[in-house]
Amino acid sequence: MPQTEKNGDTLKRSTKTITIKKALKLSCGVSLEQHDLVYETYGHLNKAKNNAILICHALSGSHHAAGKDDNGNIGWWDNYIGPNKAIDTNKFCVVSLTNIGSCFGSTGPNTINPKTGKFWATDFPTLHVKDWVNSQKMLMDAIQIKGWIAVIGGSLGGMQVMEWSVLYPNLIKNSVIIAAALKLSAQNIAFNEIARRSIKSDENFKNGDYLNLGLNPSKGLALARMVGHITYLSDDILGRKFGRSTKNVQFESQADENSEFEIASYLNYQGDKFKKSFDANSYILITQMLDMFNFEGDSKSNKQPFKDAKCKFLVISFTSDWRFSPECSNQIVQKLMDTNKRVTYLKIESDKGHDSFLLPDERYENGLRVFLNRALEEFEALNSD
Amino acid sequence: MPQTEKNGDTLKRSTKTITIKKALKLSCGVSLEQHDLVYETYGHLNKAKNNAILICHALSGSHHAAGKDDNGNIGWWDNYIGPNKAIDTNKFCVVSLTNIGSCFGSTGPNTINPKTGKFWATDFPTLHVKDWVNSQKMLMDAIQIKGWIAVIGGSLGGMQVMEWSVLYPNLIKNSVIIAAALKLSAQNIAFNEIARRSIKSDENFKNGDYLNLGLNPSKGLALARMVGHITYLSDDILGRKFGRSTKNVQFESQADENSEFEIASYLNYQGDKFKKSFDANSYILITQMLDMFNFEGDSKSNKQPFKDAKCKFLVISFTSDWRFSPECSNQIVQKLMDTNKRVTYLKIESDKGHDSFLLPDERYENGLRVFLNRALEEFEALNSD
C-alpha cells in the first residue's frame, strides 16, 4: 500500500490481527479464554498516544472502514475517514475493528472453537453490546492506547458509544452517537425476527451447523438482508431511485408479468451479494444483540443511563430515517440533559433513510469535523496548561 | 343458519357457488372458458333488484365477509356488514365473492385445470385488477342484479372499486375507496417482492408445482405473511400492543437469549396461522396484481383516469397507515377533482395502521353509514320522481 508522510493526501492504512490472551468475561456468564480481533488503523498515533479515535461498526460492518483493501474493496465509511476528511487521518489515529461474533476474521461463529476443533456455529455464546465494548477496551490496552479522544459509531455502532461513555468514563473524551436508539422498538424487533426466521427456514441452515456440514443457508440469508435493506432506505428515496421503473421496457404500460420492477431487481441483487459475504449465525447473533440492547432499562427502573458519563456528546439523526428516527435521538438527548451532560444535537435533513449515516452530506460532514476539531483544540489547550 | 325477516337483528347469510359459463377474456390475452365463483349474500334483494352493494376483498380476503360460517369463523368485515351496521343488511343486499386467482373455492391456482386434470398451479394466467372486475360483472349478470347502488372495497378492494367506476360507469351509483392507492410505491413493491421470494425460496415450492406433488411451501408462506403483517400495523400500535415485553419473564431485565419478545411470538403465530389457510401460488399471483396495478398510467401519459366515471365517490384514509398513506388517498381525490367528480374525503385519526380499515371506529362507521343512507335516499327520490 502507498504510504505518505503525515499531512499527506494518501491514506496510511494498516490491517492486523491480534490475539487477546486475557479472558473476556461475557454478560451471559461465559468466558472467552482468548479471542482474535482483526483491526485497521489509519493515520499516525502521536507520541503521547492520545489522538486516537475508535470507530464502532454496525450490523454488517467490519474492520475495513476506510481506503481500499488488497481486493480493491473500499471501506464502509470511506466517505468520512481519510486525509482531510471529517475524521481527518492527518490529525487523528483512527482504529476500526471487526467485533467478536461477526464474520470477518475476529473470533466468531465462523471461526474454529479451539475446544472442539469445529466451527463455533451456534455454540458461540450470546453477546451483549457491553461485551463488544469490553473487548474493544482489551484491544486498546493491547495496542497501548491510553484512551480515546473520541469514540464514534452509527446505528449499532452508536449503542457501543453509549456503553463506552459509562463503562469507561475516564478513557473517553468525546462520544459521537449517530442514527442510534436507547433501545429497539417493537417494529425494529419484528423486522429482525423475520430476518432470523428467513435464515432458520432455509433447509441448509441445519440448526446452525451448516459450516460444519459444508453448507450455506444462502437463500435465507439473502432474504434476511432484503428485509433489512428496505428498512435502511426511505420510501422517498426508493421512489426517487426506482419509482415503478421496469427492466427492459421503456414505459410501464409496455410491461407484462415477466417484466421485473427495478426495485425488485435491486433488492434481489443486494440479497445475493450479501449472502456471499456474511455468515448466517453472525447475522442471528448480532440482530439478537440489537434486540436485547436496552440502555434505558425497564420503564419502572427510572434509570439515569448516562449518570456516570464524563465526556462530551454529539448526537446526530436524519429526518427520513424510520428505523432509528430523530425521535430516538431526541430520547438520547433528553436522557443526557436529565443528568446535565454536555450535548450537541444535529438533525440532518436527508431523504436517504437510515443509510444516510454512511453517505456524503455536507452539513453532517461539517458537524463531525467541527466537533472533532474542537475536541482536539480543547485537548491541546488542556495539555499546554 | 338462522333467518329472520327484513329489519330483524339477525344476519341473513347465504353461500353459493356459481359456474360462469361465458368466456372471460383476461388482460393478459388468455381466456378462461368458464370459471367458478363462490359468493355470499347478506340481506334481501328488493323487487327492483337495485339495492345491491358489491364488496371487493383485499389480498387475503374471501367471499366470507360477514356473519359466522359453518365452521364458526366470523367474516373479515363483520364489523361493518350486518343488520343496523354501517353497511346495513336491513336496507341493502350485500354481495361478497372470492375472486378468481384466490384460494377459497373460486377458480384459481389451487383448483383443477379441466384441460390437464391437475391443479392449475403456475399455469393459472396472470391477472389484472380489471379481470376481477369483469368477472364480478359476469356474476352480477348471472344473479340478475341490474347494477350496484355502491361498490365498496379497502386496499386492493379499493383498486377494484376504481376500475368499476370507469369500466361500467352506468352500473354503479356510488364508489367507496378505502385505504387504497392509484398505484403502489417502490417500497410497497419491495415488500411484495420479499414475500414472493420467501415463498419461492422454500424447498417445498418446487417452482410452484407443490400441490401436484402433495407438498406445501408453508415456511415460505408464513414468512411472506409476517413481512406483510408488519406493514399492515403502525409502529405506534406495535409499540403499544407489545412494546418490548418478553414471554415468561416479568421484567425485560430478567430476560435472556431464550426469552422471546412478544412481538416475535405474535408474528410467528400470525405466519403459522396463515400458512394453513392460504395458497402460495395465489399469494404470488395477487401480490403481482397489486404491483402491476397503475390507475394513473405512466407519468408521461397525463391520463385522466376517472374521466369516464359517473358515480359519487367516498374516499377514506387512516392517519397511521404507512402502506397506503393518506397521501395516496389525496392523490385519488386530486385525480377525481381534476375531472370534476363528486367526491367526499374522510381522513380518520387512527393509530392502527393499514389494518384500520377492518377495525371498529365510530367516525369511520358513521361516515360510511351517512354516505350509504344518502345514496339510498337519493336513489329513492330519483325513482319516485
**pLDDT score for B302:** 73
Q: Which residue in the set B189, B201, B239 is minimally distant from A261, CB to CB?
A: B189
- Is A129's pLDDT higher than 50? yes
A38 and A162, same domain (yes or no)? yes
- Is B129's pLDDT higher than 60? yes
Of residues B122, B103, B41, the one with CA closest to residue B75: B41
B203 and B274, same domain (yes or no)? yes
Confidence tier at A3 by pLDDT (50, 70, 90): very low
User: Catalytic pick from B60, B96, B102, B155?
Assistant: B155
The answer to whether B239 contacts A187, with C-beta atoms less than 8 Å apart, is yes
B50 and B134, same domain (yes or no)? yes
Establish if A111 belongs to a structural domain: yes
**pLDDT score for A258:** 56
Q: What is the pLDDT of residues B100-120, one digit of tens each?
A: 999 999 999 999 999 999 999
* Region of poorest pLDDT, from A243-247, A355-359, B332-336: A243-247
- Is A65's pLDDT higher than 90? yes
A177 and A242, same domain (yes or no)? no
**pLDDT score for A5:** 43
Boundaries of domain holding A238? 188-290
Cα B83 from Cα A219, distance rounded (Å): 50
| Residues 247 through 286 of chain B touching chain A, CB cutoff 8 Å | 251-253, 255-257, 261, 263-264, 267-268, 271
Number of domains chain B is built from: 2
CATH number at residue B243: 1.10.1740.110
* Region of poorest pLDDT, from A146-155, A174-183, A217-226, A297-306: A297-306
Grid coordinates representing B333?
381525490
Establish if A377 belongs to a structural domain: yes
Cα A165 from Cα A173, distance rounded (Å): 9
Region A280-293 average pLDDT: 97
Establish if B1 belongs to a structural domain: no
**pLDDT score for A122:** 96
Domain boundary among A241, A270, A290: A290
B244 touches chain A (CB under 8 A): yes
Establish if A76 belongs to a structural domain: yes
Confidence tier at B3 by pLDDT (50, 70, 90): very low
- Is A103's pLDDT higher than 80? yes
B154 and B281, same domain (yes or no)? no
Per the prediction, chain B carries an average pLDDT of 92
Establish if A8 belongs to a structural domain: no
B197 touches chain A (CB under 8 A): yes
Domain boundary among A290, A311, A331: A290
The answer to whether B186 contacts A261, with C-beta atoms less than 8 Å apart, is yes
B345 and B379, same domain (yes or no)? yes
Q: Which of A223, A236, A281, A289 to mutate to test the interface with B (most CBs of B within 10 A)?
A: A223
Q: What percent of chain A has pLDDT over 70?
A: 93
Q: What is the pLDDT of residues B223-272, one digit of tens each?
A: 999 999 999 888 888 888 888 887 655 545 444 555 578 888 888 888 99
Query: Where do we find the cell 473524551?
Result: A173
A192 and A173, same domain (yes or no)? no
Residues of A designated as active site: 155, 321, 354
Measured from the Cβ of residue A2, the count of other Cβ atoms closer than 10 Å reads 9
A66 touches chain B (CB under 8 A): no
Domain boundary among B249, B274, B290: B290
Which chain B residues have a beta carbon less than 8 Å from that of A291? 261
CATH number at residue A20: 3.40.50.1820
Burial label, B328 (beta-carbon count in 10 A; 0-12, 13-18, 19+): buried
A180 and A204, same domain (yes or no)? no
B72 and B153, same domain (yes or no)? yes
**pLDDT score for A300:** 63
The answer to whether B261 contacts A186, with C-beta atoms less than 8 Å apart, is yes
Establish if B5 belongs to a structural domain: no
Q: What percent of chain B has pLDDT over 90?
A: 79
Phi, psi for A15 (deg, rounded to 5) = -115, 130
Bigger pLDDT: A206 or A239? A206
Start-end of H helices in B175-292: 186-201, 218-232, 235-241, 262-277, 280-292
Which chain B residues have a beta carbon less than 8 Å from that of A257? 28, 126, 288, 292
Query: Where do we find the cell 475493528?
Result: A97
Confidence tier at A2 by pLDDT (50, 70, 90): very low
ipTM for the whole complex = 0.88
**pLDDT score for A182:** 97
Establish if A372 belongs to a structural domain: yes
B199 and B111, same domain (yes or no)? no
Q: What is the pLDDT of residues B37-77, one digit of tens each?
A: 999 999 999 988 889 999 999 999 999 999 999 999 999 99
- Is A79's pLDDT higher than 60? yes
- Is B33's pLDDT higher than 90? yes
A279 and A304, same domain (yes or no)? no
| Residues 89 through 128 of chain A touching chain B, CB cutoff 8 Å | 126
A154 and A303, same domain (yes or no)? yes
Cα A325 from Cα A319, distance rounded (Å): 7
B189 touches chain A (CB under 8 A): yes
* DSSP output for A232-291: HS-HHHHHHHTTT-BTT-SSGGG--TTPPBHHHHHHHHHHHHHHHHS-HHHHHHHHHHHH
Confidence tier at A382 by pLDDT (50, 70, 90): confident
For residue A241, what is the nearest residue in chain B, using CA coordinates?
B186
Confidence tier at A53 by pLDDT (50, 70, 90): very high
**pLDDT score for B297:** 81
- Is A252's pLDDT higher than 60? no
C-alpha A255, offset from chain centre: 40
